[in-house]
Each structure stands twice: as C-alpha cells, then as structure tokens.
Amino acid sequence: DNHHIGAESTQNAVLILDNCTIRANQAHGVHARDQSQVSILRCCISQNKGDGVLTSGAAKVTHQDCAIDENKGKDLNESGSSTIDSP
C-alpha cells in the first residue's frame, strides 16, 4: 500500500507474484520492464493512481485468477512490443 509502484521488474528478470494484494500506490500496481517475464497468480491489483499492470519494452506478463480493477489508469496497459496474456 501507498508506495510509488507496487512491484517492478528489471531487464531479463523473472518475477512471480502469487496470492497478494497490490493497491493504493502512487503510480502503477505492477510495472513489467524491458525483456522481463512476470507471472501474476491469484492477486488483487486495484485502486492504484496509475495503471494496474503496465508493460514496456518487450516484457511478457501472464495473469490468472486475478482481480485487476478500479485503477485510475488502464487496468491492463501494453506498450512497445510487450504482451499481457490471460491463459
């Protein structure tokens, strides 16, 4: 709660977020950068002042069984050649 960004990945990183709540941050809930791979499982991502999940560069994000809503920006925001998938 109430951080700048809830979770952030760096280039070529693998990040797994499981069974967590990410909310009320000053910017985005999750920011996946560059060529990172992020898995978001059973999480609640809401009420952030930016996007719920923001991707940039060539990041790859998958989310499953998550509630991603009520964010000021987009709930899911892909930019660059990044992707967000829900299996």
pTM over 0.95: no
The count of other CB atoms within 10 Å of the CB of residue 49 is: 15
Determine the distance from the C-alpha atom of residue 47 to the mean position of all C-alpha atoms in its chain, rounded to a whole number. 13
- pLDDT on residue 4: 87
pLDDT digits (tens, 9 = 90+) for 33-79: 999 999 999 999 999 999 999 999 999 999 999 999 999 999 999 98
pLDDT (mean) for 1-6: 79
DSSP assigned state of 75? S
- pLDDT on residue 2: 63
Q: Are strands 44-46 and 14-18 parallel, antiparallel or unpaired?
A: unpaired
Query: In which band, very low, low, confident or very high, does the pLDDT at 80 lie, cut at 50, 70 and 90?
Result: confident
